[in-house]
Amino acid sequence: MKAVENSKTRGPLLSERLTTSGLRLTRQREQVYRVLLQKRDHPTADEVFLRAKRQMPDISLATVYNCLDALVQCGLVRHVHPGRGGSRFCPNMREHCHFYCEACGGVFDIDWPADHGGVPMPKGFEAKRYEIAIRGVCPDCGARPGHGAPPG
Amino acid sequence: MKAVENSKTRGPLLSERLTTSGLRLTRQREQVYRVLLQKRDHPTADEVFLRAKRQMPDISLATVYNCLDALVQCGLVRHVHPGRGGSRFCPNMREHCHFYCEACGGVFDIDWPADHGGVPMPKGFEAKRYEIAIRGVCPDCGARPGHGAPPG
DNA sequence: TTTCTAATTGGAATTATTCTAGGTTTTGAC
DNA sequence: GTCAAAACCTAGAATAATTCCAATTAGAAA
Ligand SMILES: [Mn+2]
Ligand SMILES: [Mn+2]
Ligand SMILES: [Zn+2]
Ligand SMILES: [Zn+2]
């Protein structure tokens, strides 16, 4: 039985995207990508490592960092920078911004309307991409004030 | 001769802002704030430390971190998170966003038009503040391609 | 299949930041 | 002014996140 790419868990592109970027398809890269697609909660590298180890006990943290880097390089994953704590990773490549809940530390994708228009750049500045961070309180934490687990 | 507050280098508010936040005015906090106002290039904590030491050789790095924290707490300084490398500090409290030059690593203030409108939030999300990062190439690096010093 | 090179691995190293414990300064009550 | 309490500063240790390194393994082109 030939393995068929399942876009639900693996995404349709991994093998192609890697090779067109001059990178190889490896078990570890598949596993790291699978982990990211399975639970889209913007895990840290260390969280990805813990989840990946469940099915691949010998994978190393250094490899997880390498794989995440490869996935970012070939355009399948975003590297997200939440200020405090380690950076996080997101397999949603649609244009969106990130909401950081100050009560529970959760990270949420927020749609970013296509008509954003951007910010007018002063002469000479060449903007390649925008990253919008929104800090506040998520629905769950807003509903039960004082009960949000502190971030970290 | 009574010392007069010089708003060019010290800003008009340090003493007041600290005390209204329940914090004390100290030599070290003055010095750290002075350093930030003198060269507004978004230095890292370590860069602030090096600059502050020139006039106050006994100041410690831990104190610089503490002072920066106090200045952020009392609303005189912004804590800026550029993804890679250490976080940076900015005494410009007007609404603005940050341009990160991918060639030289420089950080620049970009005015953020007042009519930005914000991003429409899904039900339940309470947005407290926005942070916009723009990545690209600054005027200097755009003018001499290939000559921008690599960031770091 | 062979060969070449990219990728993986564990551990050490580096970087950025926070913590700790002890000494100093400021503040405010007396 | 004197004194105690609280805030602050300091050096160095500790922690957290990430990168580097040298040796092995494994993908894929020929
Ligand atoms: Mn996301
Ligand atoms: Mn700024
Ligand atoms: Zn929350
Ligand atoms: Zn530049």
For A17-48, the pLDDT digits (tens) are 999 999 999 999 999 999 999 999 999 999 99
Per-residue confidence band for A1, with pLDDT thresholds at 50, 70 and 90:
very low
B94-143: CATH class: alpha beta
Whether A97 contacts A131, CB under 8 Å: yes
Amino acid at A33: Y
Q: Give percent helix, percent strand, percent coil of chain B, each to the nearest 5.
A: 30, 20, 50
Where exactly does CATH 1.10.10.10 map onto chain B? Answer: 2-80
Residue A78 with chain B: CB contacts under 8 Å:
none
Instruction: Give me the percent of chain A exceeding a pLDDT of 70.
Output: 84
* Element housing B130 (H / E): strand B126-137
Q: Is the pLDDT of residue B9 over 70?
A: no
Nucleotide nearest the Cα atom of B61 (by C1') = D10
With H, G, I as helix, E, B as strand and everything else as coil, classify residue A96: strand
Instruction: Give me the percent of chain A exceeding a pLDDT of 90.
Output: 74
Q: Is the pLDDT of residue A4 over 70?
A: no
Decide which of 3.40.50.1220, 3.40.630.30, 3.30.70.380, 1.10.10.10 is the CATH code for A2-80. Answer: 1.10.10.10
- A93 has a chain B CB within 8 A of its CB: no
At B2 the pLDDT is 32
Closest CA to A83 of B85, B107, B53, B74: B85
At A73 the pLDDT is 96
Q: Is the pLDDT of residue A149 over 70?
A: no
**Contact between chains at A108 and B125 (C-beta distance less than 8 A):** yes
More confident residue, B113 or A99: A99
pLDDT in tens, B26-45: 999 999 999 999 999 999 99
Whether A73 contacts A22, CB under 8 Å: no
Q: Please tell me the distance from the alpha carbon of residue B19 to that of residue B25, in angstroms, as a whole number.
A: 7
Name the pTM for this structure: 0.86
Per-residue confidence band for A12, with pLDDT thresholds at 50, 70 and 90:
low
